[in-house]
Amino acid sequence: MADNFNVRLDEVKYYTPDACCKEQSWIGDYNRTYQAFLADPDGFWDGIARELDWFQPWDRVKEWNYPYARWFLNGKLNITHNCLDRHAHSQRRNKVALMWRGEDEGDEQIYTYRQLHQAVCRFANGLKRLGVGKGDRVCIYMPVVPEQVIAMLACARIGAIHSVVFGGFGVNALNQRIRGIEAKVVITADVTYRRGKAIPLKNIVEEAVVSAPSVERIVILRRDTDKPVELHPEMEVDYYDLTEGVDRECPAEPMDAEDPLFILYTSGTTGSPKGIVHTCGGYTVGTYYTTKYVFDVKDSDVYWCTADPGWITGHSYGVYGPLLNGATCLIAEATPDYPDPGTWWNLIEEYGVTIFYTAPTAIRMFMRVGEEWPNRCNLSSLRVLGSVGEPLNPEAFEWYYRTIGKDRCPIVDTWWQTETGMHMLTTMIGEPMRPGFVGKPIPGVVADVVDMEGNSCPPGTGGLLVVKEPWPSMMRTVWNDDERYRKYWNTIPGCYTAADLAVKDKDGYIMVIGRSDDLIVVAGHNIGTAEVESALVSHEAVAEAAVIGKPDAMKGNVIKAFVILKDGRQPGDKLKNDLVYHVRMTLGPIAIPSEIEFVQSLPKTRSGKIMRRVLKAQELGMDPGDISTLEE
């Protein structure tokens, strides 16, 4: 697999960006900081947590009762107090907190910390009017607009547990998530704009709540003011009507450090998606710390994370982490290549973005369309570049480094997961960067590449990426399914198993190769094979289906589906289109197969499990490995 990356372990090439970064960065000397952490792990996290405001201090930094951790025991805080009040009641009051840009140039909204504080308080009071309180679950299904961020923060303000669902998901995916958390309220918008077109969201919500009896109210942001959608008053309420006449102050609910902050669904390898649960204390400390030290956020920075807040990247590094640090953040409802591939570079120039965080799939798309697009813009404001979501292959690294960073900017390739909540591995600013390798564990994290018994793999030998000690922002459970939580810690004794394959070099730099389980990372999004298969099988013509990921130069992977039709059904292009459409409607556009092949049978184990790796090996002309469990 390492061949994919054209990296030879013996051919070492390091990049060392500006020497000055190191001296001026928050992290300073990585090795020294890491050693300080190892010498006193609890003291290390205690020091970081003290940089934040707490309503009541903790008694103990952590309690580790394998595989359950509690952090900052009996500490009381509210993440929004730290994201908003701390700045709105200080010198940062009139500093810009949030800048939003729509697809049209004229579409812009800017909130200072004071204004954002007020907007969040008002919407929080609106939610209270609907009877939403501490512990209630709220589903947020919105486009990237300021109100999406405000809705998240408003929930956190009053202790309601938000669960953001990416606006690109379809009816079934949304319904499954709403039912999973038993949401009391769903917050949505009439439309999302993409490539100049208005895509309706409200009708998807209407269908998704049909079999979700927990939902009492739907709050709708009406963006299209020319043709305002009609609201059904027994259930639906307008976003801004809800805040009509409310108080502009809403005290932040004192939350226990271990109270849940949010649930975010991520694809599982089998069965339904998993509702990953993050808590108030540890998540706040973990995202505050990593945003500050990995991106080196300073007061003068303009920070842009291109991820939709509907993903964990958007939660941790689009919303919470940067606001905890009092940064000026840009969010954009902008497709990278619409109206042309210069859109993002124009935004960087226009807003003077200094820290830019995006995904390899976007970088590879830009590589393909050519460097004339970024070269037309003045990108000299940039000082730190970030990457996340999938391996940053050396070609993409070099292009990003040269064409965007002009050989000046460090690239932080950050490895982490929905489950980890925060960055776990990267090459900290000032350290030599090795293309193809994410780097090392950040101070605060103990990670390694091990075999199935948990023994450390020697350099050059592939194994599983694991984390060996608890960390503050680790998930606490899987919503309503603690068994699945324990699995993460039970696969390899004593370790949290990330299900990623990795290899280390002799200096301890880690290369992440890809998933070891049945997840496909398509354009940086985690797609479960099981979800796509069950969507296909729900089509009346399909008897059975299996999907695999196929390496793709642009998206990292694309989905290929093998489909067995029911007797009497004729294969053909028309049916292929029907199936693609069906997946688009049920799961959403991110999960559609790029290729469908009709087959007579599928390779299965004797126990009836589809052996996707056999299909994959056939497809890619590779050795299928051990096939002793194969049926025939």
Q: What angle do CA 302, 308, 311 make, to 5 degrees?
A: 120
Q: What letter does residue 589 receive in the DSSP assignment?
A: G
Q: How far apart are CA 514 and CA 352, in angstroms?
A: 34
Nearer to ligand WT7 by C-beta: 390 or 533? 390
Measure the N-to-C terminal CA separation of the chain; round to a whole number of Å. Answer: 28
Q: Do residues 167 and 121 touch, judged by C-beta distance below 8 A? A: no
Our finding on whether 308 is near ligand WT7 (CB under 6 A) is: no
Segments in 280-413 forming alpha helices (H): 280-294, 312-313, 321-324, 343-351, 360-369, 372-375, 394-399
Please, which of residues 572-611 interact with ligand WT7 by CB under 6 A?
none
Segment lying near ligand WT7 (by CB under 6 A), choices 383-391, 442-450, 479-487, 589-597? 383-391
Residue 419: CB minimum distance to ligand WT7, A: 7
Nearer to ligand WT7 by C-beta: 416 or 562? 416
Our finding on whether 125 is near ligand WT7 (CB under 6 A) is: no
Our finding on whether 403 is near ligand WT7 (CB under 6 A) is: no
Dihedral angle, C-alpha 227, 230, 231, 237, nearest 10 °? 10
Residue 477: CB minimum distance to ligand WT7, A: 16
Dihedral angle, C-alpha 611, 594, 143, 478, nearest 10 °? 0
Encoding tokens for residue 226?
């020319």
Q: Which of 253, 413, 469, 533 binds ligand WT7 (CB under 6 A)?
A: 413
Strand partners, 277: 263, 477
Nearer to ligand WT7 by C-beta: 312 or 596? 312
Our finding on whether 288 is near ligand WT7 (CB under 6 A) is: no
**Omega of the bond prior to 260 within 30 degrees of 0, cis?**
no
Our finding on whether 510 is near ligand WT7 (CB under 6 A) is: no
Our finding on whether 290 is near ligand WT7 (CB under 6 A) is: no
Q: Which of 325, 361, 393, 418 binds ligand WT7 (CB under 6 A)?
A: 418
Nearer to ligand WT7 by C-beta: 317 or 351? 317
Q: Which residue is nearest to ligand WT7 (CB)?
A: 418
Nearer to ligand WT7 by C-beta: 521 or 610? 521
Residue 429: CB minimum distance to ligand WT7, A: 16
Nearer to ligand WT7 by C-beta: 112 or 526? 526
Q: Which of 22, 62, 177, 515 binds ligand WT7 (CB under 6 A)?
A: 515
DSSP string of 66-98? TTEEEEEET-EE-HHIIIIIHHHTSTTTTSEEE
Residue 492: CB minimum distance to ligand WT7, A: 15
Q: How far apart are CA 528 and CA 167, in angstroms?
A: 18
Segment lying near ligand WT7 (by CB under 6 A), choices 222-230, 385-393, 450-458, 476-484? 385-393
Residues 6 or more apart in contact with residue 88 via CB below 8 angstroms: 113, 114, 116, 117
Our finding on whether 358 is near ligand WT7 (CB under 6 A) is: no
Short-list 484, 415, 485, CA closest to 69:
485
**Tokens 């200080």 label which residue?**
90
Question: How many residues lie near ligand WT7 (CB under 6 A)?
Answer: 20
Residue 567: CB minimum distance to ligand WT7, A: 38
Nearer to ligand WT7 by C-beta: 127 or 152? 152
Q: How distant, in Å, are the alpha carbons of 393, 427, 510, 554 from that of 369?
A: 17, 28, 30, 11
Residue 158: CB minimum distance to ligand WT7, A: 27
Nearer to ligand WT7 by C-beta: 5 or 373? 5
Nearer to ligand WT7 by C-beta: 297 or 307? 307
Nearer to ligand WT7 by C-beta: 80 or 427? 427
Q: How distant, in Å, are the alpha carbons of 509, 549, 587, 605, 621 from that of 596?
A: 38, 12, 16, 22, 18
Encoding tokens for residue 357?
């965080």
Nearer to ligand WT7 by C-beta: 111 or 496? 496
Q: Show the 3-state SS of 244-291.
A: CCCCCCCCCCCEECCCEEEEEEECCCCCCCEEEEEEHHHHHHHHHHHH
Residue 311: CB minimum distance to ligand WT7, A: 6
Our finding on whether 391 is near ligand WT7 (CB under 6 A) is: yes
Please, which of residues 424-463 interact with ligand WT7 by CB under 6 A?
438
Question: Which residues of the chain form contacts with ligand WT7 (CB under 6 A)?
Answer: 266, 312-313, 388-391, 413-418, 438, 498, 500, 512, 515, 521, 526
